[in-house]
């Protein structure tokens, strides 16, 4: 047997024991530093990807809001033209071809407004709602109870779910005998 090359178990164990003392942990013995660095980089990548996705969504919402605002301004201007067409249709005409032409253009504009999701705000006969109606007058009315819209002066419109232009209306006071309701309104405000 070769005495110089053979090691006994007693010789090997002290070498291991000398490298690591009992209770002491080896630094990053479970994961090499390259894996920790990769995990950090991967975490940063996932966070940046989420931030970029949120940025894209936010800018898309802001762009849609700007486009809707620009459309709302244009549609609001167009509603004044619709009002003028309605006045032209209400006027008496001797030329039937002219009246049909005005009606055709008016119908075409209304179809375009419907495609843009512009709808009329219901007003006549309904309860006054300050969120969608502007009260210009309070009038006595035998046909409508107090607080109901008895006349539409200018029609109101919505664009999607928001008010594009409130309806200008007259609101009924109901029936007041000999102006007694007017005196009560004047005395209650003084």
pLDDT in tens, 129-187: 888 898 888 888 888 888 888 888 999 999 888 888 999 899 988 776 655 444 344 33
4-18, 79-93, 107-121: which has the minimum mean pLDDT?
A: 4-18
Provide the token pair at 127: 């309860």
Give the H/E segment covering residue 17. helix 9-19
Supply the pLDDT for residue 17. 45
Provide the token pair at 158: 């919505």
Q: How far apart are CA 27 and CA 16, in angstroms?
A: 16
Mean pLDDT of 38-63: 88
Are 62 and 82 members of one domain?
yes
Q: Above pLDDT 70, what percent of the chain?
A: 76
Read off the pTM: 0.56
Mean pLDDT of 27-52: 81
Residue ranges making up the domain that contains 163 = 118-190
Supply the pLDDT for residue 64. 81
Specify if 19 maps to a domain: no
Answer with the one of 77, 92, 116 that is the final residue of a domain: 116
Residue 2: φ, ψ to 5°: -95, 120
Mean pLDDT of 63-92: 84
182-to-73, 75, 173, 185 alpha-carbon distances in Å: 39, 39, 9, 5
Burial string for 98-110 (b: 16+ CB within 10 Å, else e) reads eeeebeeebeeee
Q: With bands split at pLDDT 50, 70 and 90, how would you rate the model's confidence at 108?
A: very high
CATH of the domain at 160: 2.30.22.10
H-type helices in 95-169, by residue range? 96-115
Answer with the one of 89, 116, 143 that is the final residue of a domain: 116
Q: With bands split at pLDDT 50, 70 and 90, how would you rate the model's confidence at 107?
A: very high
Q: How far apart are CA 167 and CA 134, in angstroms?
A: 6
Answer with the one of 80, 99, 116 that is the final residue of a domain: 116
Predicted confidence (pLDDT) at residue 113 exceeds the cutoff of 80: yes
Tally the domains of the chain.
2
C-beta of residue 167 within 8 angstroms of C-beta of residue 160: no
C-beta of residue 102 within 8 angstroms of C-beta of residue 85: yes
Supply the pLDDT for residue 188. 36
Supply the pLDDT for residue 147. 84
Predicted confidence (pLDDT) at residue 16 exceeds the cutoff of 70: no
Q: How far apart are CA 55 and CA 59, in angstroms?
A: 6
């Amino acid at each position: 047997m070769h005495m110089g090359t053979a090691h006994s178990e007693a010789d090997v164990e002290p070498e291991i024991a000398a490298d690591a003392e009992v209770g002491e942990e080896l630094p990053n013995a479970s994961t090499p530093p390259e894996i920790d660095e990769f995990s950090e980089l991967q975490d940063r990548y996932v966070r940046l990807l989420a931030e970029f996705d949120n940025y894209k969504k936010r800018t898309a919402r802001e762009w849609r809001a700007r486009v809707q605002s620009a459309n709302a301004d244009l549609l609001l201007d167009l509603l004044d033209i619709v009002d003028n067409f309605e006045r032209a249709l209400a006027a008496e005409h001797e030329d039937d071809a002219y009246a049909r032409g005005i009606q055709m253009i008016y119908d075409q504009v209304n179809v375009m407004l419907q495609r843009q999701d512009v709808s009329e705000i219901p007003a006549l006969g309904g309860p006054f709602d300050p969120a969608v109606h502007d009260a210009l007058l309070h009038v006595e009315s035998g046909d409508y109870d107090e607080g109901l819209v008895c006349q539409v002066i200018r029609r109101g419109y919505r664009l999607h779910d928001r008010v594009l232009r409130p309806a200008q209306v007259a609101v009924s006071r109901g029936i007041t005998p000999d102006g007694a309701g007017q005196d009560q309104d004047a005395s209650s405000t003084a």
